[in-house]
Structure 1
Amino acid sequence: MKKITNFILFFKVLVLICGPLVLTAESLSCTFGNYDHNYIKIQEFVNDDENSTTIPKKNKLYANSVQGMDIMNNSYVIINKNHYEGSFTFIFSQINEKFEPSQSNFCYNFTVRLNCTNRDIVDLYVKVPLIDTNNHEPFFEKPKYTYNLISSYAEDFKRQQFLNPVIATDYDVTNTAVKFSNEENEYFNIMYNGIVPNSLNKKHYALLTPKIPGKLVTRKIEVNITVTDVGFPPRSNVTKLVINPPSPPGPVFSSPFYVGHSYKNRTFVMFENPKLEEGCTFYETRIDVLTTGNKSRVFYAEIINDKILIKKFKTNLSYFFEKNYSIYQLKAFYIDRVTKLYSSGTATLIVEDHHDL
């Protein structure tokens, strides 16, 4: 019973590796060589880096009671017949690795259909192993992957990887997996995450896993990721991963400019106060009044009850009406209360100087 079980297991493994065995116990009407069965395994190997390979190289094959033969279901194999000797060989062309499914042991499986002299048709199932040269380096689909997080937690990697997965491709037909590695960092590790469906085992997912689930990502992360194939000698390639921590949206003023009125009696009036479209309460908000990049010594901004008020320094005694108007820049900042990251937006403040009052 144990021997029968072992035979069945061996049979299943062989089918998985190099295609089905089709055996017959009946005597064949015609064949080639001295084979008395319709499954033929040729021991010589084909090297995938050769444009053309002839097999057998030395001992040619001879047909018995055959008047014609054709290769079925394999475009890489043709029959080379020597009509004077009555012999023939198989000629294998170089396979297209981009379109052939990868498998750990790649074999040429094909059928030789014999037209016997008695008009019978016999199918001989042939298997020839392939030696695969590691002549394709794996490569990433993008030279750089950028993840813009919308939350402060490393768990947001899951959403980013779903929308923008890190994928590497390897065309070598006997490389069925790759290895991923990354530069050391405090936030995440990288690991192999399987084959991309319907990719002929050519494309492979990488998976980013947080080192500490829930750890805040508070700064920009830039690391190199390496993919290495499993061929010999191993070949590799590199891409860059950029992770931008969440920042508030840029503040947007309701108008590109606002007008204020300054009078001789040192009063200052704005008929329309500046407003931010998102308001001033969701994020920590700051407004600066600037002159050519520096804070104004004449005007300043206060936020009171979600309202932006532009005010004039009362202690300023050196301000004179030398012009009819002055221009300032209003610069608003939204600051994330957790990460302290910020973004900014600007508007223009025009102050009219009234000399007659």
Structure 2
Amino acid sequence: MKILFLVQGEGRGHLTQAIALGQILRKAQHEIVGAMTGKSAGRMIPTFFKDQIQASVYEFDAPCIAYNPNGKGMNLGRTIGTILSNMPKYLRAVQFIHKIVSKTKPDAIICFYETYGGIYNFLYGQKVPMICIAHQYLLLHPKFVFPENSRFNKSVINFNSRLTSWLAAKRLALSFREMESRNDLKITVVPPLIREEVLNLKPTCGDFLLVYMTHHSMSKKIVDWHQEHPEVHLHCFWDNAEADEVLRLDETLTFHRINSEKYLNMLASCKALVTTAGFESVCEAIYLGKPVMMIPVPNHFEQECNALDGVISGAGVRSKTFDLSVILEYLPRHQDQSEKFRNWYKSGASRFVQEIEIIAGDFTPVNH
């Protein structure tokens, strides 16, 4: 079976999920004929994705989140304004996606939370079955626990989730833990997707905290905390394209440009992970038995949900700021969830293959 990926390029989570699913599908003798990936101004598709996806990568212009300076979080107004001003460019991107679909002739499209997924189905008809995969689809589940007083934000993110999966054959909702599926909502709850590189790691307990941030503007808060706690060893990964590959500020604080292999090796040997509440990063940490401090990006509701869900699942602790004292105080009471999580994860590979094969085999093309 020939499968084409459509992947949101913002952050690293959806990219690593695509790599992991590609590994699973190849073992089942299926072919990945390409990976269509959204890019935006000032942000590059990481080298690790191009190296590891083992398929042709087709880049197109896509909307992205606009951030406030100095680590003050997401700027919703600027994000919406940028999308509206670039609408002609984004419509051309949908045409480009259709061109690649026509060129590769896949038996199924796997969409990793790319906004264009539902728009493509609407504009060009459901000629190829689309299966949508993301943790965000779990937020459509009636039993998902949301932060308090979040009715408006819940409506916004669930609208976007429905948009990305509009007219799709099924939603595969990645989850930290087992929950019942809801076929009436086209929601099948499945384990996370984790790359083989993570599965092969042998965790040890080092003496440093590992920090991963989705945007380098958040680094100021890390530096501020470090100046008051210079005795704590920190290794931080960021997306600052203007910085050196390794920027060592002093004996105990080092910043690294995003490098997949280096990051994973440090994750396996760190004391704990501090991250901006991305689902994939938290999953990798739980699998390796690493406590996590989850800090949602300000004004980023999706990450607030991830952090709460992670706490419920025993991943660690959440915080509103990069006050790393919170994770240091939490560590003595952390209970390792890696064995339970690994058992849940191991049930996933066969389920992904089965779901995709059934949908592709039973699909009847639909035109508008």
TM-score interval, normalised by the smaller of the two chains: under 0.3
Q: Which has the higher contact order (CA 8 A, sep 6+)?
A: 2
Scaled by the length of structure 2, what TM-score is found?
0.20
Report which of the two has the higher share of helix. 2
Scaled by the length of structure 1, what TM-score is found?
0.20
